[in-house]
Chains A and B, each alone.
Chain A
Amino acid sequence: MHASDATNGAAPLEHVRLVLEVEIPSDVQYIEQIVDLVKGQVEALRYAPRQVALNVPVALSEAISNAILRGNNENIAKLVRVRSSADPSCLIVEVTDEGKGFDLELCTPDPTTPENLSREDGRGLFLMRKLMDRVERFGEAGNVIRMTLHRQ
């Protein structure tokens, strides 16, 4: 018997990896569409509703906007590449820009302290770290951010 026979035609996604690779110009108007595509991946693999509605969209939106605004200085000619690979156990998203990279540690003062709470900025990397299981920076120039989230 084939595996698909047992599920009335709808093959289970237990052994499936969904991979998406997108390149966008450095324009923040693209972010929402890319986020929707990656949301679709984790939704198809039945990640927890909160991961689909909160963790993935917010963390990815932060990573792409950092790449566009900081990495590429909103230079429309420079590209941001998003590579997202999701399987039933975890999601790994890499966001690459054409910038010189930045030091994650230096960029993450705690925005929840009383003196920082009323600041308008400084929550991006904090949220990525809170909403993802792991956030790493690598690449020759440190211009790649990789985020990992385990399915719940």
Chain B
Amino acid sequence: MTDNRPPTVYLVDDDASMLRALSRLLAVTGHAVQTFASATEFLARHLPTDRGCVVADLRMPGISGLDLQSALAHSGNPLPVIFLTGHGDIPTSVHAMKDGAEDFLTKPVRKDELLAAVRRALARDAEAFERRARQGELRRRFELLTPREREVLTQIIAGKLNKEIATALAAAERTIKAHRASIMEKLQAQSPAELGRLAQEVGFVSNQ
């Protein structure tokens, strides 16, 4: 599944003037921007296919910035969040960072800092998206395996030779070889080592 939408910076701030200014700045530097006056508005329009990052004010009436981050983290699409705040608050910033905030900046924010943070966030999002896409693909491939093939895969990962696997599973070696080939083809792996890596990546757990 691919997405052709460009990565977007989602701005969330209850101060209209701030929202306009940030939007202008990001737009003139070539970013796609969407603005929201409250976290509630944003969450209502947030889609799993959204790409990009969020720049949010920390203190907002109703759902605060931290709540927003928490909600995003629990959604299927955890976009990176950059916090802006006019009110320096150390415990909150530590809390925010521990929860995985991308960055924490104070208003008035310097152009370079903001753009650098946005760039990092977008990169991380792209990377995460790619990883998720790949994982999804992998999972799909693993679904194609038959139960017997899964058993064989487990043995291969354990480093067993065909002969040993045949003995262990009470099957002919020839059959085992055929299974191995099928597995390699389905999973599009080049070597047993790669098989092992892929299995680990997808979190394959043996049925035994």
Check if A and B associate.
Answer: no
Residues of B participating in the A interface, judged by any CB pair closer than 8 Å: none
